[in-house]
Chains A and B, each alone.
Chain A
């Protein structure tokens, strides 16, 4: 626990937030920002500094995304994910479970965009 926190603090990238982590990837939370009520709620659900959070998937209409912390699955909107600073991002390994990044190949396996093409990770998606 202690080790991972120190490690996370070291790796907390400048300006990287949870919204930058692609589906299938994971990251370590380094700081919660913004609204205190929201922070309290997130901590109660297990989103505390030093915890590893995994992006499970995004909703059909792209906006809320499903995350996993410990044994808890929860859903956060893009705006809320922007308030969670992360470090130590791990890209999805191998063929991505759903093959869909936050940006790049947005329309999925059968849709537009080339296989393996597109940006792997993009900045704050609009």
Chain B
């Protein structure tokens, strides 16, 4: 008997905005893990701590108002309680909002679980004139009751002690009180419950659920419980029939749906409980929030204030994040050089330096921005402003078929698609998450800007700025169209309603912000780093293999020439040729060639194809690949023209800029193909990291769909631009 080895599983249940998360943070500190509930993208947070010789595994169930099977969160919470049977469930209640919060408590009690009621935000309650007879409250509910102030960390030990007492069976308060649902319902519930017990006893299968709970749920017509009986307890099938008859009787007798009669019964129980224990003074906790909302959601001022906040967040994420990102980049480069010095020249060194360190760099460079963004989101959520953003922006986002809260991911998408897809976690319904994640890539990310700047600068002259602007607008318009299309076709079914609580504003706590930011960033690093690293190594290999002998010859020739003190221009020309041949002969180069027939209708040649294929790594790579592929040919031309010059002069003149090279007659680019190319870059898959993020958030099926539809859309749009342009004679 070593109590130290015993693990207690504790689940936290409660309404959204009940301070459940702050209680969880207080209990676990920074020892938390963020993951997903099996198969769905609802955040699953857990943490392990030691207390009183026990190891406590604490699970934060999704915040729910009720325990029906209607929403995903409710199904998850209920499933966990059914299947995992946690030792103790702590029901976190917003003490200032007892009546609504007790709705969930009653349903938990019906499930017959070992419950502790935690009256949270107790400071706000005691500050009001309302008084609660906590003793009697606990007696009537039949549960231990503790009071906590989650965001201050008060009541942690009391709560933990109560958990241990309940788990050890030492709690004097603990007894299962039947929730009376009113005489009429009560009799039929009892009948059904007895029948359920008889049937299960006769068949010799344990019910595993309180019979009373089964009876109530059958009367309510709960599809999950019905299904449970169908699939796992076939012996109880006669019960379903009886339940149906009883439901009809009840419906006739009361003139209401049985579910509503039972709901009213629960409400009656709560009202009775509060009448006996709560002496209510006026409790207007929303007073200060209302004052704040006079300005923050003001009819006229609300929008500009909101825009200012977003501007701040956006700038903080991508400007402030740029400095640490640059340091990290330099650090990685430095380490890369050190390693490069230590390794002998060859394939292995190239792989480590360019592949591994390039890959690590790609992940690490995102990190500061992502942490700042997560901090910003935690701030918005913890203060309560997030709900106001949804309130203000819902009308606009509704045009996309989305929810007001989708605004944050969409805006973030202009910076970087990866954190934007991760930010879709703040959305409650899965349908909104999917649709938002599908639309986010059309918000043109910062990495695509260099491509636009290059091409627009080369082909649109004075109109370059307008061209780039038009591309951004096109992205938004496409998102609008696609959003409307998807939400009227296959994402129509779970059109989420916009019933959303506007919680009171609160001061965020350092602890809460740190815990949220850390847990999410940690999750990001752990889940993304490995995959992106592998992906960048694979792409490096594809871009460098098979090794071309011609390229090696050219390179060797260049080295010889340099050793003999040959003309610098000649040497660099040879080097560029070598690089171009190497990439042309590599797998990526061959893929570019192979897809040339597909891209031909868009007016693209194989070099554009290669650039687009390499753009799967990241969009910046498009520009560098073009640099390699285009400058070489054009450089040859200028090299020939400059034969008479001395080496020094040629070196000073240098190779032509990439812009000039693209404009050169042999470049294959016209203003029209440039426009089509920009449209293609805007619309096709942003980068391998975004694909990974998509897979992490929504699963492989949606990832493939995403990649497929983006490629199809990009091709069609670029085709449209090119063909219509040709018809109008712009080609």
Interface residues of A (CB under 8 A from B): 1, 35-38, 40-46, 48, 56-64, 66, 68, 70-77, 80, 98, 100, 108, 110
Q: Which residues of A contact B404 (CB under 8 A)?
A: 64
Q: Which residues of A contact B398 (CB under 8 A)?
A: 63, 77
Residue in A57, A62, A110 whose CB lies within 8 Å of B297: A57
Quick check: is B303 within 8 A (CB to CB) of the other chain? yes
Tell me which of B96-104, B131-139, B144-152 binds A: B96-104
22 residue pairs of the A-B complex, CB under 8 angstroms, read A41-B65, A41-B70, A41-B499, A44-B65, A44-B103, A45-B100, A46-B99, A56-B290, A59-B395, A60-B297, A60-B299, A61-B392, A64-B394, A64-B395, A64-B404, A66-B502, A70-B100, A71-B286, A72-B97, A75-B387, A75-B390, A100-B299
Residue in A38, A48, A73, A108 whose CB lies within 8 Å of B501: A73
Give chain B nearest CB distance to A47 CB in angstroms: 9
Residues 398-410 of B, flagged 1 when their CB comes within 8 A of A and 0 if not, give: 1000001000000
Give chain B nearest CB distance to A95 CB in angstroms: 15
Residue in A41, A44, A63, A70 whose CB lies within 8 Å of B497: A41
Quick check: is B300 within 8 A (CB to CB) of the other chain? yes
Nearest B-chain residue to A97, judged by Cβ:
B294
Residue in A62, A70, A74, A108 whose CB lies within 8 Å of B502: A74
Contact B394 A59 (CB under 8 A): yes
Quick check: is B645 within 8 A (CB to CB) of the other chain? no
Contact A60 B392 (CB under 8 A): yes
Interface residues of B (CB under 8 A from A): 65-66, 68, 70-71, 96-97, 99-100, 103, 259, 263, 267, 271, 283-286, 289-290, 293, 297-300, 302-303, 387, 390-392, 394-396, 398, 404, 497-504
Top 8 closest A-B pairs, CB basis? A44-B65, A61-B395, A63-B395, A73-B502, A44-B66, A60-B302, A77-B498, A37-B70
Nearest B-chain residue to A57, judged by Cβ:
B297
Q: Which residues of B contact A64 (CB under 8 A)?
A: 391, 394-395, 404, 498
Give chain A nearest CB distance to B567 CB in angstroms: 66
Give chain B nearest CB distance to A38 CB in angstroms: 5
**How far apart sit A61 and B504, CA to CA, in the bound complex (Å)?**
22
Contact B65 A45 (CB under 8 A): yes
Q: Which residues of A contact B290 (CB under 8 A)?
A: 56
**How far apart sit A75 and B398, CA to CA, in the bound complex (Å)?**
14
Nearest A-chain residue to B497, judged by Cβ:
A38
Contact A98 B65 (CB under 8 A): no
**How far apart sit A57 and B391, CA to CA, in the bound complex (Å)?**
11
Give chain A nearest CB distance to B84 CB in angstroms: 24
Q: Which residues of B contact A45 (CB under 8 A)?
A: 65, 100, 499, 501
Q: Which residues of A contact B103 (CB under 8 A)?
A: 44
Contact A71 B394 (CB under 8 A): no
Q: Which residues of B contact A75 (CB under 8 A)?
A: 387, 390-391, 394, 498-502
Nearest B-chain residue to A74, judged by Cβ:
B501
Q: Which residue, of A38, A48, A66, has the highest number of chain B Cβ atoms within 10 A?
A: A66
Nearest B-chain residue to A80, judged by Cβ:
B497
Q: Which residues of B contact A61 (CB under 8 A)?
A: 303, 392, 394-396
